[in-house]
Amino acid sequence: MNLTKDKKLWMYQKMCEIRNFELEVDRLFKANLIWGTCHLSVGEEASAVGSIAALEKDDMITSTHRGHGHCIAKGGKLPQMFAELLGKETGYCRGRGGSMHIADLTMGNLGANGIVGGGIPIATGAALASKLRNDGKVTLCFFGDGATNQGAFHEAVNFGAVKKLPVVYLCENNLYGMSVPFEKASAAKDVADRAAAYNIPGVIVDGNDVEAVYEVTKAAVERARQGQGPSIIEAKTYRWLGHSKSDPRVYRTREEEEAWKQKCPIKRYRQKLISEGVATEEELDQIEKSVEKAIQEALEYAKNSPEPKVEEIMEGVYA
């Protein structure tokens, strides 16, 4: 791998931003400042950051209902993200979309959505457009293990493989589709095994190892960019919190949760950076402090932003 110190510190910073953002959102929801629901990605930071770090700036992504981390890693602006979740006019979608519908087309983020597997056909379509335009862009498609049993998964991946489209399908397998263990929903042990049906590569990676995720994604992205078609990457990871804010997590043990917390991707990477002499404890402490400051400043921006005007409620609504 050709990872510079700046790139490694960028990955550490982004993982810290995602963790701090999600924990702040959790607090805001409990304080009744965020309505509806939220799907938080605490514990899954490495899969988002490591994969997006392998993209070029003009490449695109599609996200999921658990998409805050994807947006932040792709260059999403923290103030606008908080504003969107708080339903403010300055949010990415003017407060209309909320947690599951953040998009930033200027950064190549084609958006999250609340439909399980909904981003897979969108990513495939974006890749088809890139191939027809010959613009050299690759689309990275995020989805969870639960999406692999949706018809859209098969239809889109098969089409992408047949047309050799510049798309990488990345499954963040956090072991549960809502409350259902993956092993009870799939006859195949691993999502990556399904790649054989489409005659494309399927790779399993430790989703809590940010550099490992970067390495396999980089290879898949370059393969796609060279016209060799898509790949499936299965990042094995774990969400520390519930599927959504209404999930009491009665389907798994606290011992299992604690075991995965010991594999924290941020603590793990911090130890690696220090042990390899890439960064000092002081450098990483400074990054964490700057992230905490940025989070609080972004939150203040959102809280002080105006509410949407009632007379503009129909703007952006079409029939």
Which of 251, 268, 301, 318 is flagged as catalytic? Answer: 251
Decide if 68 is catalytic. no
Closest CA to 297 of 83, 109, 140: 83
Q: How far out from the chain centre does Cα 6 lie?
A: 22
Interatomic CA distance for residues 156 and 159, integer angstroms: 5
Report the alpha-carbon distance of residue 116 to residue 128 in Å, rounded. Answer: 21
Please classify residue 284 by burial: count the beta carbons closer than 10 Å to its beta carbon, then call 0-12 exposed, 13-18 middle and 19+ buried: buried
Catalytic-residue membership of 239:
yes
The owner of tokens 């899954």 is 44
Contacts with 190 (C-beta within 8 Å, 6 or more apart), sequence order: 202, 204, 234
- Cβ neighbours, 10 Å, residue 4: 9
- Active-site annotation holder among 19, 65, 194, 239: 239
The residue annotated as part of the active site, out of 19, 66, 243, 270, is: 243
* Contacts of the segment 194-198: beta carbons below 8 A, 24+ positions apart: 194/148, 194/157, 194/232, 195/231, 195/232, 197/158, 198/157, 198/158, 198/160, 198/161, 198/230, 198/232
Q: Is 96 a catalytic residue?
A: no
- Decide: 16 and 49 in contact? Cβ < 8 Å: no
Q: Which residues are catalytic?
A: 239, 243, 251
